[in-house]
Amino acid sequence: MGDLGPRPRAEADDPRSGPPCRVAAVAVAGVLVALVAGLIAAVVRPGADLERTAVSQPAATGIPVPRTVPSPPDPAAFTRPTRGLTTGPGTPTAAAPGVAAGGPPEMPGLAGTSGVAGTPGVAGTSGVAGTSGVAGAPAGRTLVAVATQDVSWFAGTGGSAAGLVIASVGMPASLPVIDQRPGWLRVRLPQRPNGSTGWLRRAGVGLTSTPYRIEVDALAARLRLYYANAPVLDVPAGVGTREHPTPTGSFYITRVVPPARAGFGDLVLVTSAHSPTATDYDDSLDASVAIHGPLDTTADVAIGTRGAHIARGCVRLHLADLDRLREVPPGTPVDILTEVAV
């Protein structure tokens, strides 16, 4: 018997063997398969770079999530409306001299806050009605002393304390400065009699300033707002009557508080002025003059565009006009001029 090892492979078993037509057919088929595969890849997978930029693959789900690429913001969307001189409710005209279109610039620590900053050396104001002018003050601003805790006030620069300035929790006492001496500041006080002033030790308070000033004409029944001495608002108001006049003098905003009810508007600006004929407003334990909304529709209509003498001493505004005072901070001077004619 011969060798029983592996049988040599016959030529018929080798696909490379056989007639020439069979070899050509196999080669053409291979080329066609390669072309079809390439076309499918080009349609289904447009390119690795494009896919990487268009699809992200969250590890948690493994599901491709299209990524939205935001378009650049439209600069017009951030343009603030012009806050010019207003002569009536909601009727802006050209911007006042010295006030850029778009309203006064935002002042850190001033919009809606007392701006408590223990920064000595901040100058006060000069040439503003209701102040005596503080040395070294920039024009059009009022220096404000800020007490974050109760602080004693004095009748002069020395001696024993004459009283106490009360600072509420979360609501510092903000007092406009009208004079100063080394180590001392003379400020307006929020108490009777109207126009009271006192001296504070400089070391016991912080300092900030406000560019705002409010002027109320109790005879013409109008309220005006100034920014850096430039008028930015002039609107009709409801002021006191002959029986209950709005007191005249130099005062200031002591605090800005939420309203007691809807007719007051979104905010109430309480001043340091007190009614000369009343001792209590709505169980408030004090008749402090405040700037607020019209209270009701009848009063709102009466105020109209020319103002009216309809209040018990406070100053009432159309709600739209009141909203324009939202940026006015505590410590802002309020000068009430003239009185109702008898």
Q: What is the pLDDT of residues 31-62, one digit of tens each?
A: 565 555 555 444 444 333 322 323 333 333 33
Whether residues 138 and 173 fall in one domain:
yes
Whether residues 27 and 135 fall in one domain:
no
Q: Higher confidence at residue 338 or residue 116?
A: 338
Whether residues 33 and 133 fall in one domain:
no
Beta bridge partners of 117: none
Compute CA distances 13 → 8, 10, 18, 315, whole Å: 10, 6, 9, 111
Whether residues 266 and 228 fall in one domain:
yes
Question: Of all helices (H) and strands (E), which one includes residue 174?
Answer: strand 173-181
Q: Over the stretch 55-96, which tens digit does the pLDDT of each residue have?
A: 333 333 333 333 333 333 333 332 333 333 434 443 333 333
Whether residues 167 and 262 fall in one domain:
no
Count of structural domains within the chain: 3
Tell me if 158 is assigned to some domain.
yes
Q: What are phi and psi of 37, to 5 degrees?
A: -60, -40
Q: Which burial class, exposed, middle or buried, applies to 117 when counting CB atoms under 10 A from its CB (0-12, 13-18, 19+)?
A: middle
Tell me if 145 is assigned to some domain.
yes
Tell me if 68 is assigned to some domain.
no
Q: Among this protein's residues, is 21 annotated catalytic? A: no
- Rounded Cα distance between 243 and 18, Å, is 126
Q: What pTM was estimated for this model as a whole?
A: 0.64
Among candidate residues 244, 292, 309, 318, the one labeled active-site is 292
215, 229 in Cβ contact below 8 A?
no
Q: Does residue 234 surpass a pLDDT of 50?
A: yes
Whether residues 233 and 312 fall in one domain:
yes
Give the torsion through C-alpha atoms of 19, 24, 29, 35, to 10 deg.
Answer: 170
Instruction: Please tell me the predicted confidence (pLDDT) of residue 221.
Output: 98
> Tokens standing for 82?
């012009």
> Tokens standing for 131?
């102040």
Among candidate residues 244, 274, 309, 314, the one labeled active-site is 314
247, 272 in Cβ contact below 8 A?
no
Query: What's the CATH code of the domain at 191?
Result: 2.30.30.40
- Rounded Cα distance between 168 and 149, Å, is 7
Query: What's the CATH code of the domain at 260?
Result: 2.40.440.10
State which residues form the domain around 275: 213-337
Whether residues 199 and 271 fall in one domain:
no
- Rounded Cα distance between 117 and 110, Å, is 11
Whether residues 251 and 196 fall in one domain:
no
124, 134 in Cβ contact below 8 A?
yes
Q: Higher confidence at residue 226 or residue 8?
A: 226
Tell me if 48 is assigned to some domain.
yes
Spatial CA neighbour of 331 closest among 131, 184, 132, 181: 131
3-state SS class at 39: helix
Last residue of a domain, one of 179, 210, 241: 210
**Residue 33 DSSP code:** H
Q: Among this protein's residues, is 318 annotated catalytic? A: no
Tell me if 221 is assigned to some domain.
yes
Instruction: Please tell me the predicted confidence (pLDDT) of residue 9.
Output: 43
Instruction: Please tell me the predicted confidence (pLDDT) of residue 238.
Output: 98
